[in-house]
Amino acid sequence: MADGDARRALKEDLARFNCRVHQPDDPPLFTREPRSDMQTVLWCWNDLMPLLERVGEAIRIGSGGQRRTLRLANPGLPFGTTHTFWASIQYILPGEVAEAHRHTANAFRFILRGTGCSTTVDGECYEMNEGDLVLTPSMAWHDHVHRGAEPMIWLDVLDISLSRSLHATFFEPYDQGEMQPVGAVPEFSYRAFGSGTLRSPRARHRPGINPLLAYPWPAAEEALERAEGLERDPWDDVILEYQNPVEGGPAMKTLGTQLQKLRPGFHGRARRHTGSKLYCVLRGHGYSEVDGQRYDWGPGDFLAVKPWAWHAHHNDSSEDAVLFVVDDAPALRALGYYREEFQADEGLRADGDNQ
Ligand code: 1HN
């Protein structure tokens, strides 16, 4: 910067009036493409499971809406799994109650292991079984109670870093007991809206709000099997996004959720996009290449991919690999910041804005 000394000389005087000009040692304001402190990280189930058991012994669930969760903490960030969302593994023991509370952060649970636990979301009680996705939209009251015999394990994802960066954090413990009252119709939203194609003409919903709170595994698995009959996606093989069944589009406003199957012998092409992503391996083995580095994964592993990193997925095994995928694309799209590029056969295909 030719005028570096002049800029430095202004610094103190301007600061007295809460003003500044760009300083020679400031990091560049704009970069040609996204630069992120977030790191691409692989967490292995073989490491996580003993840690969960240790945490289960060491930590009691207290009152005031506390949870026992093992957070997937990105080493490149002060907090969070990515710069927008937190993924944690909740470990709840037989007989325990995770007391009711609510918060601004949008959240969901994807059940990994166990049976016998139920969650109540704004008065609707849902049994939680392996592979179920249950949503807790912003400011919905939620509590969990475990009546089963074995520890229950699920993935929690909350857009905490996003809501924190927008300075929009509210948190409220429920003050009328451990659990909220349960409505007369259990699983109301699933009964009214869950088929996705057939609906009572009298079922009401609020415009812009997904009325469906639960996406049970059997229907999701069946849809994924049916999608195998579609043309193979060169980047993702078979992939389906959880939808708002009434208005279309993603199930949550800020977080995208997808189910993906990589069939034996699949070698995906690379793509990159703004925003971050977390893969949770449900079944099978394979590997992903992210910015030239190979990450081998198997059941229970998690892979977080940083923004604008080239990534491609492969399955060299003889069995299907099934992944649950979380991203923040709905938030980026809503703001007009979503960009993606695909490695095509002919070379690079740049898609400016894939709204
Ligand atoms: C939370 O409220 C839950 O409600 C789970 O079960 C995980 C991680 C960080 C902050 C709040 C829950 C959480 C969380």
Q: How confident is the model at residue 355 (pLDDT cuts 50, 70, 90)?
A: very low
Any ligand 1 atom below 6 A from CB of 341: no
Work out the number of other CB atoms within 10 angstroms of the CB of residue 292: 8
Any ligand 1 atom below 6 A from CB of 100: no
DSSP conformational letter for 198? -
Amino acid at 326: V
| d(C-alpha 155, C-alpha 140), whole Å | 18
User: Hey, what are 158's tokens?
Assistant: 């909350």
- pLDDT tens digit sequence for 65-104: 689 999 999 999 999 999 999 999 999 999 999 999 999 9
Closest ligand 1 atom, residue 136 Cα: 4
Alpha helix (H) ranges present in 80-185?
160-165
Closest ligand 1 atom, residue 143 Cα: 4
C-beta of residue 155 within 8 angstroms of C-beta of residue 89: yes
| d(C-alpha 268, C-alpha 286), whole Å | 11
- pLDDT tens digit sequence for 276-325: 999 999 999 999 999 999 999 999 999 999 999 999 999 999 999 999 99
**Mean pLDDT on 160-178:** 96
Domain ranges for the chain, please list them: 41-352
**Structure pTM?**
0.95
21: pLDDT strictly greater than 50:
yes
Ligand 1 centroid, distance to 302 Cα (angstroms) = 18
How big is the CA angle at 288 (ends 78 and 318), to the nearest 5 degrees?
140
Any ligand 1 atom below 6 A from CB of 92: no
- Name the residue at shortest CA distance from atom 14 of ligand 1: 67
Closest ligand 1 atom, residue 103 Cα: 2
Any ligand 1 atom below 6 A from CB of 158: yes
Any ligand 1 atom below 6 A from CB of 156: yes
The fold of the 41-352 domain, in CATH, is: Jelly Rolls (2.60.120)
Any ligand 1 atom below 6 A from CB of 67: yes
Any ligand 1 atom below 6 A from CB of 88: yes
Tokens 């005028």 found at: 3
pLDDT for position 347: 55
Ligand 1 centroid, distance to 106 Cα (angstroms) = 10
- pLDDT tens digit sequence for 210-268: 999 999 999 999 999 999 999 999 999 999 999 999 999 999 999 999 999 999 999 99
| d(C-alpha 302, C-alpha 42), whole Å | 6
Determine which of 40-49, 101-110, 345-354 has the lowest per-residue pLDDT on average: 345-354
| d(C-alpha 285, C-alpha 301), whole Å | 10
DSSP 58-83: H----SSS---EEE---TTSSSSSSS
- Name the residue at shortest CA distance from atom 7 of ligand 1: 156
User: Hey, what are 338's tokens?
Assistant: 């979503």
Any ligand 1 atom below 6 A from CB of 142: yes
Work out the number of other CB atoms within 10 angstroms of the CB of residue 270: 20
Count of residues in the chain: 355
Closest ligand 1 atom, residue 69 Cα: 7
| d(C-alpha 112, C-alpha 122), whole Å | 23
Cβ neighbors of 290 (< 8 A, separation 6 or more) are: 40, 303, 305, 306, 309, 310, 311
**Mean pLDDT on 167-185:** 95
Q: What percent of the chain has pLDDT over 90?
A: 92
| d(C-alpha 172, C-alpha 149), whole Å | 30
| d(C-alpha 187, C-alpha 219), whole Å | 15
354: pLDDT strictly greater than 50:
no
Work out the number of other CB atoms within 10 angstroms of the CB of residue 211: 19
Q: Decide which of 185 and 14 is more confident.
A: 14
Residue among 63, 67, 110 to mutate when testing ligand 1 (max atoms within 8 A of CB) = 67
Ligand 1 centroid, distance to 100 Cα (angstroms) = 11
Ligand 1 centroid, distance to 67 Cα (angstroms) = 6
- pLDDT tens digit sequence for 321-342: 999 999 999 999 999 999 999 9
Ligand 1 centroid, distance to 110 Cα (angstroms) = 13
Distance of CA 78 to the CA centre of its chain: 18
User: Hey, what are 179's tokens?
Assistant: 């659990």
Q: How confident is the model at residue 346 (pLDDT cuts 50, 70, 90)?
A: low
Distance of CA 273 to the CA centre of its chain: 16
| d(C-alpha 139, C-alpha 145), whole Å | 19
Ligand 1 centroid, distance to 156 Cα (angstroms) = 7
φ and ψ at 242, to 5 degrees?
-65, 130
| d(C-alpha 82, C-alpha 73), whole Å | 8
